[in-house]
Amino acid sequence: MNKRTEKRWIFGVLSAALAAHFSFAHAVTIAEVISPTSVLLAQGDARKLASFGGKPVFWCGLQAFEKWATPLVGQTVASTPETGVTVSIDAQNVSLEQLLIAKGWLQPAVLDDDAQAAIAEGRGGWACASATVPFELMHTSVDPKVLAGIALNEAGLNGRGWPWTLNIGGQGFFFKTREDAYRVVRSLIARGRSDFDVGLMQINWGYHARRFASPWDALAPATSIRVAEEILNENYSKTHSVAKAIAYYHSANPVPGQAYLARFARHLNQIQAGL
């Protein structure tokens, strides 16, 4: 069973369970948000526990989550096999589970776009996580501290690597959202430009566009990390030196490469000190 089918099946079971437990003659509301994985639903005197898969994100503590979740109490919910339990946000029905993921309080088993964005931006409970946590969760072959140090070199903003970063012809730009950065990338490509670096790990589009499925994919934090690991591993295979692999990530020219490595060393010291 693939993940999408499994998720539909789980939501279908949950929807059926709610339908069996509640008559829906009266509104079903959120009685209590116990944790990011457990929500108590109410209809009159009847109670039903709705559970979500994944792990709670409590880097900022339980009280921070409870403060965020307080406005959800009393809200009316619905349930369908496609979306599971939903709440109304800005006049639109939103999956409660996906809301918890996107706001940074629930870590799903598979890090989808919403989860990656929440982790990389430091939303919700991720705000108090260390600078290495996104890389611990999304790396495959390179030390997360090395990746975090490079991200601070390339796209550092307020003590973390910012995922929606572009460097265009040598000038850096930080965007609020992935969509904002994507619009600029599309505009650059439409004008025949390739002299820009993109995403969390600032991958150069001119040299490495072939490594991405699309410009949108290039902005995904997990994809950016994967491609950065590929480049670092290739550099190490050529040089047999970790220091040179990191320096060459920026430039094989010794002068800018060594300056880059020195900045990386400062960031690594900050990370090891608890950044």
Per residue in 192-204, pLDDT (tens digit) is 999 999 999 999 9
- Residue 258: its pLDDT value, please? 96
Mean pLDDT confidence for 253-265: 96
Tens-place pLDDT, residues 3-40: 444 444 344 444 444 544 554 446 899 999 999 999 99
Residue type present at position 34: I
According to the model, what pLDDT value does residue 26 have? 66
Neighbours of 204 (CB within 10 A): 14
Q: What pLDDT shows up at residue 83?
A: 74
Cβ distance 164 to 175 under 8 Å?
A: yes
Q: What is the pLDDT of residues 219-244, one digit of tens each?
A: 999 999 999 999 999 999 999 999 99
Phi and psi at residue 84, to the nearest 5°: 70, -150
- Alpha-carbon distance of 205 to 82, in angstroms, equals 37
**Contacts of residue 54, Cβ cutoff 8 Å, sequence gap at least 6:** 36, 37, 101, 106, 107, 108, 109
CA-nearest of 231, 219, 150 to 188 is 219
Domain ranges of the chain: 3-126, 130-272
Q: How confident is the model at residue 148 (pLDDT cuts 50, 70, 90)?
A: very high
Taking alpha carbons only, the member of 212, 202, 150, 206 closest to residue 172 is 202
Fold observed for domain 3-126: OB fold (Dihydrolipoamide Acetyltransferase, E2P) (2.40.50)
Q: DSSP string of 232-250?
A: HHHHHHHHS-HHHHHHHHH
